[in-house]
Amino acid sequence: MLRIGVMVSGGGTNLQAVMDAMDSGRITNTELAVVISNNANAYALERARLRGIEAVCISPKDYGSRDAFNEAFLAKVDGYHLDLIVLAGFLVAIPEAMTRKYEGRIINIHPSLIPSFCGKGYYGLKVHEAALARGVKVTGATVHYVDSGMDTGPIILQKAVEVKKGDTPEILQKRVMEEAEWVILPQAIHMIANQLV
């Protein structure tokens, strides 16, 4: 049984997709131990509670320094003895000590076809704004392992999504979530849980 923790900052639609896939059997051999957010108001925490999943908040704002937060964050995560950490819209940089300790055991979903539109400053709607500004005709999403860089770790899965005439960043974001993110994130977890990757 793969013991996972999901890290979130916002609405948690990817978390929802993971929980739904666990219920429907599209993800097997997996146990969701905890959902962790840096933002106490994240609706994702509510989604977890509604499923009876432990939902906790740990915020950099509650610590005197980034180092103090990073240390507490790592200690908190360690306490759950996770096999896999899933970053699903988690907008806090993962401390280097954590990427080192959990090498090969942290994955992230990113809303573009990496290496396009990724790295510093590219998150959420900004990714789709940049893609539309560049005039790309195809975008998509990527699940990758997390290393000490930003969006630089080995790619596990990607799925392409068509950009359509008249798309706004919001419309494109929704299509990328529905057609790509909510599909490949559960798929990647299932593959890891069943040694298919």
Q: Which residues are annotated as a binding site?
A: 12-14, 66, 108
The answer to whether residue 144 forms part of the interface with ligand GAR (CB under 6 A) is no
Instruction: Give the interface size with ligand GAR as a residue count (CB under 6 A).
Output: 17
List 2, 4, 7, 12, residue binding ligand GAR (CB under 6 A): 12
User: Do 87 and 7 touch, CB atoms closer than 8 A?
Assistant: yes
Could you give the string, one character per residue 107-126, with x where binding to ligand GAR holds by CB under 6 A and - elsewhere?
--xxx-----------xx--
Three-state secondary-structure class, residue 163: coil
| 151-185: b (≥16 Cβ within 10 Å) or e | bebeebbbbebebeeebebeebbebbbebbbbbbb
11 binds ligand GAR (CB under 6 A): yes
Q: Catalytic amino acids?
A: 110
Q: Closest approach of Cβ 195 to ligand GAR, in Å?
A: 25
Helix or strand run (H / E) with residue 196: none
Interface ranges with ligand GAR (CB under 6 A): 8, 10-14, 44, 88-89, 109-111, 123-124, 127, 177, 181
